[in-house]
Structure 1
Amino acid sequence: MSLVVDIRKNYGKFQLDVSFETGSGHVTGLLGASGCGKSVTLKCIAGIETPDAGRIILDGRVLFDREKGINLSPQRRRVGYLFQNYALFPNMTVKQNITVGVRDRKAREETAERLIKAFGLEGNEHKYPRQLSGGQQQRTALARILASEPEALLLDEPFSALDSYLKWQVEGELADLLEGFAGPVLFVTHSRDEVRRICQQACVLDRGRAQAVLPVDELFRAPRTLSACLLSGCKNVSRARPAEGGKIEALDWGVTLDPGRPLPENLTHVGIRAHFVRPADGPGPNRLLCTPGRVVEEMFSTAVTLFTPGGDKGFARLRMELSREGWAALREPEQLWVELPPESLLLLNGG
């Protein structure tokens, strides 16, 4: 079963242009900053909003096609949409909230009882949403969605309404439930950690435009664009341009680097993760002399801000992370040579 999304919508200053495909057995994360178009994309798929152009196809069934004049109602799309606040009916009990989602009236009682048991909600059947914990509310909302037998699930930041101490438990429960769902799942979040733990693949949205769907491991190991790199948690990024001999001039860091491999087209930036920046014993290839600044002792490591030859402001600074013992062994140097290994450099375009 596949979900094909190829849509465009004009919001004036904001333009949505999203194209991707995902299939059964995959939880696909839609990752991006606030206002990038993640939730709007889900609403278009669910039929809550109507794109200006394009098409949406679920398992060969056309949900929306502007040119052909097809635009199925939300009720006919067979898509389950979990809102950020779960959208439970406050005047209905757990059982009533689940029952209302069952399409076959004759099977309502049986389906509700089966889902209450499957979601561990026994003993809560007659409680109202206000009497439930955050995790119980989420499970009730998911049970209601699954009662309608959806062919795809859309999850819109399902942990945003939870206190931090509840998120870990609820996230684990949701991950277990998703393993048993047969159709495609879209998971909207701005948290890279949630993507790593829950999703198998991810699509980065940047200012309304969707980038290529990548395996989660590849997104974090070798992001291809500046926006994906920053969303993956990389702390060190510099503007860059090609230099002679296949090298890169890192404009913000004030150094020329050898990436040890061919440069991609449209190179605009270079990045490196903080734990790959390492102390060196003197000058050499891909090395630069820095001045240590702020030092932060974390639980198991030390984070050091380095002022590069490019300066001490913004992207000119580098962040280095070492073991606490490794930093202590350097004895608080006034200046420090560091190396940026070629295999650890991230070669990026401006997308």
Structure 2
Amino acid sequence: MSLFVDIRKKLKGFSLNVSFETNGDYLGVLGSSGSGKSMTLKCIAGIETPDEGLIILNGKVLFDSKKKINLKPQERNIGYLFQNYALFPNMTVEKNIGIGLKGSKYEKNRKINEIIEAFHLQGLEKKYPRQLSGGQQQRVALARCIIYKPDVLMLDEPFSALDTYLKEKLQTEVLELLRLYKGEVLMVTHSRDEAYRFCENIVVIEKGSSILIGNTKETFKNPKLKKVAILTGCKNISKCRVISKNKVYILDWDITLELEKEIEEDIKYIGIRAHNFEIVKNGDEQNIIECKINKIVEDVFEYNIIFENKSSKLQGENKTILYKVKKDEWNKIDNKENLYLKISEDKLLFLK
């Protein structure tokens, strides 16, 4: 299984310029709203036409601007789960699933009944979309995609319409259901949690351009680019100045870090995730910040500690830093007025 995409298309406000290749693993297309993620899927599906480029699925050319090849959507064998599921409101569940199926009436009914059982939709066959919950509608739409055995299955923000409780429950269900499908899977999302949970690899799209493609877990561990670090949820990012091979000054936090590893000269930013500080008893070690706490915001299971470097003379909003700590860990600290946090070298993100 493989999908090759290298396309360009001028749009209002920006140009789409996306290039990536898959190898059969689930691929997440991660980016902020309006970055061009859904447009990329529509070009692959044949709903939209790129201005130029090439799209090849399992060796079959779907689009080639130079050779003037542009297969119709129905010729591409692509399953597309739309954001709003796009079920036909005047059709029952079984008719929605089976619409367009070819073969004898017996064969079509057999396939529909098999997938209804696999997707736990028994008892809903005669119901209409308006009579279904959001999760049931999603399962019907997914069953309709998979029954045709497409070469690639594309999911466009599949959980965006669901509330938080339903979302987590359905993500687990959908992961199970996708095991029934053996082809390529592309999932568009702006949720880093969904990308991390579902996708082996991700391509990051920013303002119409694919700026990074790589293994999902490795990308979260080492995003390399400031834009990617932000999309993967890093809250603490500051401009920096490389002083020497082993020393870097963090401008916004007014602290110099001394490191064992060599720092690349072209590093422009330093990031650290909010959970990755370490509480220490005093400031005697290297790379310690003595904290001046500005605000504590309580969440269900943790506290958000908003602080700044106590010894800094800098002014401005960018100097604040976010530390997320579990409640039981925070409650163990006796002297919260004199809080010292260590920045471990292995937790730093070096960004360009």
TM-score, normalised by the number of residues in structure 1: 0.92
2:346 is matched with 343
Which residues of structure 2 form unaligned runs of 5+? none
Shift of 1:335: 5.0
Please give the alpha-carbon distance, in whole angstroms, between the structure 1 residues aligned to 2:154 and 2:334.
52
Please give the alpha-carbon distance, in whole angstroms, between the structure 1 residues aligned to 2:100 and 2:264.
50
2:59 is matched with 60
2:324 is matched with 321
- SS of residue matched to 2:158: coil
Shift of 1:79: 0.5
Amino acid at match of 1:340: I
Number of corresponding residues: 348
Identity over aligned pairs, percent: 45
CA deviation profile, 1:92-140 (whole Å, cap 9, x unmatched): 1111111213144664222222222221222211111111111221111
- SS of residue matched to 1:193: helix
Deviates more, 1:158-167 or 1:304-313: 304-313
Shift of 1:332: 5.2
Shift of 1:227: 1.7
Give the direction of change, closer, same or farther, for the CA distance of 1:12–1:129 in structure 2 (3 Å limit). closer
2:164 is matched with 164
1:81 is matched with 80
Please give the alpha-carbon distance, in whole angstroms, between the structure 1 residues aligned to 2:313 and 2:234.
19
Shift of 1:152: 0.2
Amino acid at match of 1:266: D
- SS of residue matched to 1:211: strand
Which residues of structure 1 form unaligned runs of 5+? none
1:275 is matched with 275
Please give the alpha-carbon distance, in whole angstroms, between the structure 2 residues aligned to 1:148 and 1:311.
62
Preserved contact between residue 101 and residue 147 of structure 1 (Cα < 8 Å): no
Give the direction of change, closer, same or farther, for the CA distance of 1:196–1:138 in structure 2 (3 Å limit). same
Amino acid at match of 1:286: N
2:297 is matched with 296
Shift of 1:57: 0.6
- SS of residue matched to 1:185: strand
Whether 1:285 and 2:286 are equivalent positions in the alignment is yes
CA deviation profile, 1:230-254 (whole Å, cap 9, x unmatched): 1222221101232124422211111
Please give the alpha-carbon distance, in whole angstroms, between the structure 2 residues aligned to 1:304 and 1:11.
42
CA deviation profile, 1:27-74 (whole Å, cap 9, x unmatched): 211111111111111111101111112111100001111111111110
Shift of 1:291: 1.0
Whether 1:108 and 2:108 are equivalent positions in the alignment is yes
Shift of 1:290: 3.0
Please give the alpha-carbon distance, in whole angstroms, between the structure 1 residues aligned to 2:339 and 2:123.
63
CA deviation profile, 1:292-330 (whole Å, cap 9, x unmatched): 111134444332111122746443211123343543454
Shift of 1:265: 6.0
Amino acid at match of 1:86: Y
1:98 is matched with 97
Give the direction of change, closer, same or farther, for the CA distance of 1:331–1:297 in structure 2 (3 Å limit). farther
2:195 is matched with 195
Deviates more, 1:167-176 or 1:50-59: 167-176
2:140 is matched with 140
Deviates more, 1:330-339 or 1:164-173: 330-339
What CA RMSD, in Å, does the superposition of the two structures yield over aligned residues? 2.0
Please give the alpha-carbon distance, in whole angstroms, between the structure 1 residues aligned to 2:111 and 2:144.
10
Shift of 1:21: 1.1
TM-score, normalised by the number of residues in structure 2: 0.92
Preserved contact between residue 205 and residue 212 of structure 2 (Cα < 8 Å): no
Shift of 1:153: 0.5
1:261 is matched with 261
